[in-house]
Amino acid sequence: MRERPGSDVCEHCGAAVDDEAGNGTGTSGTGTPAGPERPARRRDRDEVGRARNARPRDGLGRPLPYGAPGVARQPEGVSRTPAQSLAEAQRLLDAGMPFHAHEVLEDAWKAAPEAERELWRGLAQLAVGLTHAARGNAVGGRSLLDRGTAAIAPYADAVPYGIDIAGLIAWARELTGHLAGPGTTVPAAGSAPRLRAAGGRSGNHPAVDGAGDRPAADG
């Protein structure tokens, strides 16, 4: 997740940055002023000086303490074709890593022509919605799934790059219906959507109990 400088939201998909590093202004990620037990610290930077949180994260992108073993973040700024972006995002979704899939889709958002920017941002928002749902954040999950659905809906007639727009919208609505209240969780891998229709059929039905086979992704 790429933070907008001076903000606690993702630069591209608008998802909340939910760690304790805050925005470098002496507050926690929830806006709580830093106290004696939580001193303010300088904002993390990458090797070229851009703001990027350096805390390790788990498979769902949740921040871990500094020094803890974590799952490697996706490298930022990788140039991929749309087909490569979809294939890599699908691989990560199938592996139960929707947060990391969202990072791939963000790179596609940044590289996309103006006419496609909302499409890729919407796909990233759907991945973040699944991330929240798998973490047990039903409110955040519903919000991002709704926003992602609204962003991709205008592309339903064009079906760019074989993306299953109608199937993704149906998947998001069905998954939203399973997020009944606080603490509701879904299996990240079992509930992962198909970004492109496999063999001419959607296959976009969340397996909220973790069961159910899914058609193989197109190459």
Do 181 and 82 fall within a single domain?
A: yes
Mean pLDDT of the chain: 78
**pLDDT exceeds 50 at position 219:** no
Q: Which two tokens stand for residue 47?
A: 């090797």
* Cβ-contact 30, 39 below 8 angstroms: no
The secondary structure of 160-187, three-state, reads HHHECHHHHHHHHHHHHHHCCCCCCCCC
Question: Is the domain of 91 the same as that of 171?
Answer: yes
Is 64 among the domain residues? no
> For residues 151-176, b (16+ Cβ closer than 10 Å) or e, as one string?
bbeebeeeeeeebbbbbbbbbbebbb
65 in a domain, yes or no? no
CA–CA gap between residue 178 and residue 186 (Å, rounded): 8
Per residue in 49-86, pLDDT (tens digit) is: 666 677 889 889 888 988 888 888 877 888 999 999 99
For the domain that residue 120 is a member of, what is the CATH number?
1.10.3450.10
pTM: predicted TM-score of the whole model, two decimal places: 0.74
Domain count, the chain: 2
Q: How confident is the model at residue 14 (pLDDT cuts 50, 70, 90)?
A: low
Q: List the structure tokens of 205.
A: 């039905």
Give the number of residues written for the chain: 219
Q: Which domain holds residue 149?
A: 78-219
Q: Is 186 within the bounds of a domain?
A: yes
Quick one: 114 and 178 in the same domain?
yes
Whole-number Cα distances in Å, 188 to 68, 112, 114, 200: 22, 27, 31, 24
Buried b (16+ CB within 10 A) or exposed e, 50-77: ebbbebbbebbbbbeeeeeebbebbeee
pLDDT tens profile 86-104: 999 999 999 999 999 999 9
CB under 8 A, 24+ apart: contacts of 69-72: 71/97, 71/100
> Quick check: helix, strand or coil at residue 218?
coil
